[in-house]
């Protein structure tokens, strides 16, 4: 029996979804009779994860579920998903102390609970979920083109080589390509490596310094630090899936509903 914990990052303002997000955060918008974040919570709990933390920011008071733990990112207007996650540093450090893996999820995605099961069964200290059938999800998705996808390039051994937007290199055709869906798991050794790397970068950069593909360190994505870790020989593994998930980023995404 695993003792996994989870962190859901739900601080963003969802500006691309206005006016739908004028009064509530993006993750509280309903799709398939439940809010996006409720789907996420239910799927985590279905896989035996009861210790769930949520990082709030925009309209934090609207995200209020009993029995969960909350961290507030009061700088959500000026930072991004990576720094948002670090507001739950206490939860990450507690997982190390408890020798527990942590599943980390974006809050604007829907995914099938079987994906969480595959992630929990995966080996390695840092494991990312990547969809090899990613291109089909962009058919007819005119408001969020495929160029926006956070893609992962990985070896036959499922080891990550490159990640982020615009990372495809035709010369790397021998490697597999998939879209990072915004779901990952870190075991205690991976959490320690991740926090150590974050601290090392933080010590050398100001919040306004460029970092990897981000114009400013404070606005960097999780994919930016993962790329930096890979550049520094840290092993990151990919868990391949084929569909059974969807990102909700635009009004069009919500109009199209859940995947069939």
Domains of the chain and any CATH numbers = 5-251 (3.90.550.10)
The 10 Å CB-count burial string (b at 16+, else e) for 67-80 is ebbebebeebeebb
Q: What is the pLDDT of residue 130?
A: 96
- Looking at residue 18, the DSSP 8-state letter turns out to be T
> pLDDT digits over 166-205, tens only?
776 545 557 789 999 999 999 999 999 999 999 999 999 9
Q: How far is CA 131 from the centre of its chain?
A: 13
State CA 179 to chain mean position distance: 12
> Phi/psi of residue 229, each to 5°?
-65, -45
Helix, strand, coil distribution of the chain in percent, nearest 5? 35, 25, 40
Question: What pLDDT, in 10s, does the model give residues 195-254?
Answer: 999 999 999 999 999 999 999 999 999 999 999 999 999 999 999 999 999 999 999 999
Give residue 173's pLDDT. 58
Tokens of 77: 């207007």
Q: What Å distances lie between residue 78 and 8, 19, 70, 73, 222, CA to CA? A: 19, 21, 20, 10, 16
pLDDT in tens, 16-37: 899 889 999 999 999 989 999 9
């Amino acid at each position: 029996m695993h003792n996994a914990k989870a962190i859901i990052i739900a601080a963003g303002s969802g500006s691309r979804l206005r006016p739908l997000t004028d009064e509530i955060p993006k993750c509280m918008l309903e799709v398939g009779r439940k809010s996006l974040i409720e789907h996420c919570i239910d799927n985590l709990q279905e896989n035996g994860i009861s210790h769930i933390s949520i990082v709030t920011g925009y309209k934090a008071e609207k995200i209020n579920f009993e029995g969960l733990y909350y961290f507030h990112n009061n700088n959500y207007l000026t930072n991004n998903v990576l720094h948002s996650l670090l507001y739950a540093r206490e939860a990450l450090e507690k997982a190390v102390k408890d020798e527990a893996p942590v599943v980390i999820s974006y809050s604007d995605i829907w995914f099938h609970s079987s994906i969480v099961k595959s992630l929990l069964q995966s080996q390695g200290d840092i494991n990312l979920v990547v969809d090899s059938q990613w291109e089909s999800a962009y058919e007819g998705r005119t408001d969020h083109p495929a160029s926006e996808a956070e893609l992962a390039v990985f070896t036959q051994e499922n080891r990550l080589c490159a990640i982020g937007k615009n990372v495809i290199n035709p010369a790397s055709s021998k490697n597999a390509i998939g879209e990072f869906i915004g779901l990952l798991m870190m075991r205690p050794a991976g959490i320690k490596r991740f926090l150590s790397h974050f601290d090392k970068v933080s010590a050398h950069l100001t919040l306004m310094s460029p970092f990897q593909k981000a114009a400013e360190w404070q606005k960097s994505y999780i994919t930016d630090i993962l790329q930096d870790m890979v550049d520094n020989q840290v092993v990151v593994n990919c868990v391949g899936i084929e569909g059974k998930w969807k990102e909700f980023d635009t009004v069009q995404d919500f109009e199209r509903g859940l995947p069939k």
